Structure 1
Amino acid sequence: MAARALNKADYVNLLDYARDVLAKASRSILIQRPSTGMGRGIHNAWTSIIECAEEFEAEGRDQDRLIFLILEARTNNTLSISSLIPSPQGEICLVTKLPFFVKDLVAAWASRWESMRAQHRENLLAFTARLVAAGGCSDWIFLYGLSLLREVLETARPLFPAAPRFATRPALPPPLQTPVSFGPPSLLELLPTLSRFLVLAGTRLAALCNCSADLAPLQGDEDRRLRSLADLGPLAGAAGVNGGPSGFAPTRWLFWTQRLETLSGCGDQIIASEAGACLGSMWDKEMLLCGPLTRDRVLRQMRIGRGAGGWELTRGVEVFEGQQEGSRRLE
């Protein structure tokens, strides 16, 4: 991805370029005359849209334009390809409504999520979560969400970011020096992104976990590598969690809520508030379902929001899989 040296007009131009490429691809498909470079052009269009999605403010007007462009292409079947496209390596068969899109989006996330600025990470997650909520693409796009949940809740991670190390330049005051190394993203950086994801796409995630969804297999070495994003993290694996056939399972959902409960009780107010907001979202999504996620719970008290400061979470005695949990208050 190009360095972030573009201004707002440049990103608008990128979006116009992507729209033009997709329109040309659609015309080629309609007249059944696909060109050799059409597949590459579609990849380039998705790359431009992904870069714009990182830059455009989450849930803002510019991001709305991106969502509309994707939904328009899918709804009108303008990119449905069921023919063979010639390429230097041989013919390629494309049969999806949005060819390459999910794979390109998940691959971009997998390769760069740790190095993204926190705002770009949150923007991209909001963009994909809104597509999920609107049914704009296949459920395999949830690979990025499972990856985020694994890194935040199934992997040991510091609460706070490491102090940046600066190049040794005595002549420059520290504020003018360029940071040359950062630690891995901390929970303080990742929890707000997770919270937005759960608000926007948590209902679909809960439904997939509720039925232990088994998605169609991915093919090819690259696709198998992306499929590994759904694998359990070290903490979940050590706890004996069953990840289901495709990474979705009631026991995994329960593990996430238990981890958030633990974080909600930590000593830091900011971490506790962010974790409480995530937990409140997950409980809200559970209330929309019937099935393994909720059938063993015999008592659920109302969760009371307390505005922008987070959630005030009060729980009574609950029974889940035969284990009784005492009353606990999460501040």
Structure 2
Amino acid sequence: MSDPELPDFQTILELYKSRAAEGRSEFDASLRRWVEKGCKGNGPQVDFNYVSFHYLNSDYPLLLEELRLHEIWYQVIQVFKHTDECHEAQQRLVLSLVALRETGYLPLPPLGDGSPRSDSFSDGRRLWPEFPLFSPALIEEYTTRYWDKSHYDDVQRENMAAAIGRLLSIGIYDGPALVALSLFREVLETDRPLLPASADTDGQQEVPISVEQGIKFASNVSGYAENGLILLASNRCGAATSVPHLNYADFPDLSAPGELAIKSGLVSSDLRGYSPGRWAFWKKRVEELSAFEGSTLAESDKAENGGSWATLSGHADFIISALGEAERSTQFLEHM
């Protein structure tokens, strides 16, 4: 007796899309309840095995698996966004990605009619070592929502920055590296107010994020990235991963140096990506910020545990320490 005919692929696709929307809503609600309870316990779980199982057993083209991957990366990003950098949920999720990368490539079975099919997704990546579709999902999150105050508050930006740093520290560069570069560009290379400003009296003016706010995000990236940033800046990360990197020239708004970096003379205006000169500028800039004394602030703001002056210079000092340690560690590894 022959197997029953497989349902029409388009029917399956539409059904899955509707179920995916419901699943995303349920995940968001579960995550929100967990956060409201203070992130006690394990929280919502990202089920990577669900994707692997269907990938290995599907009789349909990869488009259906792409939809599952989009949902998985959405969940990963949301957990990163809502969990404190020290919370075990963020650490556990990063370790899960390490484990996935180490599983190697999953063999893709033929189509239901026996014909072979490509095991590459639409971005050319394969499961799992290359994390297909993760890079565009992360870049879209960063470019469309990260700096939008209706989507992220400062604490959530710090959480995501820490996650980006963690990913760099374990050699996941494709996507996180561009996001980290753009974040440093926005915070250190762009002319923005040093301290927070208030909106106008009518509340109509969009208040830009200040250096004092942004320095915390850069601090989290540099602190958790360990040697990741200097490996990228010195072009030594090739041996750490076989995954092809993004072409930074395709993202000039994210990868081109900011006006302050260009004016410093350390960075060429036509640069796209990391460079030793850019690394040198970041160090120079945070050294200037660490010496900032906020002459317009009241003396009370300079207390050890006080206002913006302490916050700005304290995080700048931490970045200097983190960048210096990364540089020394990399130099040590070169001479082993």
Q: TM-score if structure 1 supplies the norm length?
A: 0.69
Matching of residue 250 in structure 1 with residue 271 in structure 2: no
Go from structure 1 to structure 2 and tell me whether the alpha carbon gap of 1:242 and 1:224 turns closer, same or farther (over 3 Å shift): closer
Distance 2:123 2:228 in 1: 32
1:1-331 superposed matches below 5 A: 6-8=32-34, 15-16=44-45, 18-19=46-47, 22-31=48-57, 33-35=59-61, 36-77=63-104, 83-84=117-118, 94-95=125-126, 97=128, 98-115=131-148, 116-135=152-171, 137-164=172-199, 182-211=206-235, 216=244, 218=246, 226=251, 228-240=253-265, 241-242=267-268, 247-268=273-294, 269-270=309-310, 271-290=312-331
Most deviating of 146-155 and 75-84: 75-84
Question: Per residue, is there more helix in 1 or in 2?
Answer: 2
Q: Which has the higher strand share?
A: 1
C-alpha distance after superposition, 1:202-236 (max 9, x if no partner): 411112212377895647xxx96546412111111
Q: Deviations over 1:273-326 (max 9, x none)?
A: 2212211211122212339x9xxxxxxxxxxxxxxxxxxxxxxxxxxxxxxxxx
The DSSP-based 3-state class of the residue aligned with 1:290 is helix
Cα 1:261–1:9, aligned 2, differ >3 Å: closer, same or farther?
closer
CA offsets 1:127-155 (integer angstroms, 9 cap, x no match): 121122123x2344211110111011110
Partners of 1:15 and 1:49 within 8 A in 2: no
Alpha-carbon RMSD across the aligned residues, in angstroms, is 3.6
Aligned with 2:331: secondary structure? coil
Give per-residue Cα distances to partners, 1:167-192, cap 9 Å, x unaligned.
6xxxxxxxxxxx77541111111111
Give the AA of the match of 2:135: V
Q: Which amino acid aligns with 1:103?
A: P
Which SS does the other structure have where 1:104 is aligned? Answer: helix
Structure 2: any 5+ residue segments left out of the alignment?
Answer: 1-23, 110-116, 295-308
Q: Identity rate of aligned residues, in percent?
A: 24
| Residue matched to 1:171 | none
Q: 1:81 to 1:273 in 2, by over 3 A?
A: farther
In structure 1, give the amino acid aligned to 2:276.
Answer: P
The number of residue pairs the alignment matches comes to 270
- Whether the 8 Å contact between 1:159 and 1:187 is mirrored in structure 2 is yes
SS of 1:185's partner is coil
Question: Which whole-Å deviations, capped at 9, do the CAs of 1:25-81 have from their partners, x for residues lacking one?
Answer: 312332463454220121111112101210011121121232233223222237687
Give the TM-score taking structure 2 as reference length: 0.68
Instruction: Work out whether residues 190 and 260 of structure 2, in 8 Å CA contact, stay in contact via their aligned partners in 1.
Output: yes
For each residue in 1:76-105, what CA deviation from the matched residue of structure 2 results, as whole angstroms up to 9, or x when unmatched? 237687953799xxx885435311112211
Q: Secondary structure at the match of 1:151?
A: helix
Is 2:124–2:132's contact at 8 Å kept on the other side of the alignment? no
SS at match of 2:329: coil
**8 Å Cα contact 2:257/2:271 also seen in 1:** no
The aligned amino acid for 2:259 is P
